[in-house]
Amino acid sequence: MLFELSRIDKIYRDYDITATTKESGPVSLTGVDAALLPPRTRPTATTVWTPTSFDPGGSGKGVATVLLAGPYADPTNALVVNAGGADLWLKITDSPEVDAEYVERIYVY
């Protein structure tokens, strides 16, 4: 998926989240973290994760909201996407498991 963001944009994006156990049962979600990574890279042990605004919908579902800002926008409370763009990853932690998923590429114009 590709999302286009101008250098001055500051935009909220909502992402539907669904999590299940290995037996396909629902997980009680309490939060989702987000990270912006250079395009075509994956998270590592040093990846910096930022909590999202998360609205649990129950039964392992919910909506994570991320505030994205272009490189010339006000960075307050936002994940700032640099001029080269980024890949957005979301992470659910359900101790002891962690599930990080690629969500979309963000192109800055």
Q: pLDDT-based confidence at 35, cuts 50/70/90?
A: very high
Q: pLDDT-based confidence at 61, cuts 50/70/90?
A: confident
pLDDT of residue 95: 65
| % of the chain residues with pLDDT over 70 | 95
pTM over 0.85: yes
Name the CATH code of domain 2-108 (choices 3.30.160, 2.40.50, 2.60.40, 1.10.3470): 2.60.40
pLDDT of residue 28: 75
| pLDDT mean over 16-32 | 79
* Element of type H or E holding 3: strand 2-5
Tell me how far apart the alpha carbons of residues 53 and 42 are, in angstroms, rounded to a whole number.
Answer: 23
